[in-house]
Amino acid sequence: MDMEQPSEKRQIRAAARILLICPVCGQENSERAETLRARASYACRGDGCTYDFDLAGTQRGNNAGFAEAMRRFHAAVDVLRGEGAG
């Protein structure tokens, strides 16, 4: 089994980009995962749009939230790479 070095795994995660599509104006907002990880919200960059993405999952009705979605995403990637807890 080919084992990646921990530094390689960190580099992959740091380079990952997340695409946030605004439900109000349709603007595609692309940002580095590392940048988003440290934030609770992210403002849409669409012209005149005032929508804020709730990255902490604090909006009403948002059961999963961004943090939970990222945990599931990373768990799925780990399983695909053979590193899952199984």
What is the residue extent of each domain of the chain? 16-80
Would you give the end-to-end CA distance of the chain in angstroms? 16
| CA atoms in the 13 A half-sphere facing the CB of 18 | 20
H or E segment at 32? strand 28-32
* pLDDT < 50 regions, the chain: 1, 86
74: enclosing H helix or E strand: helix 65-80
Q: What are phi and psi of 42, to 5 degrees?
A: -145, 125
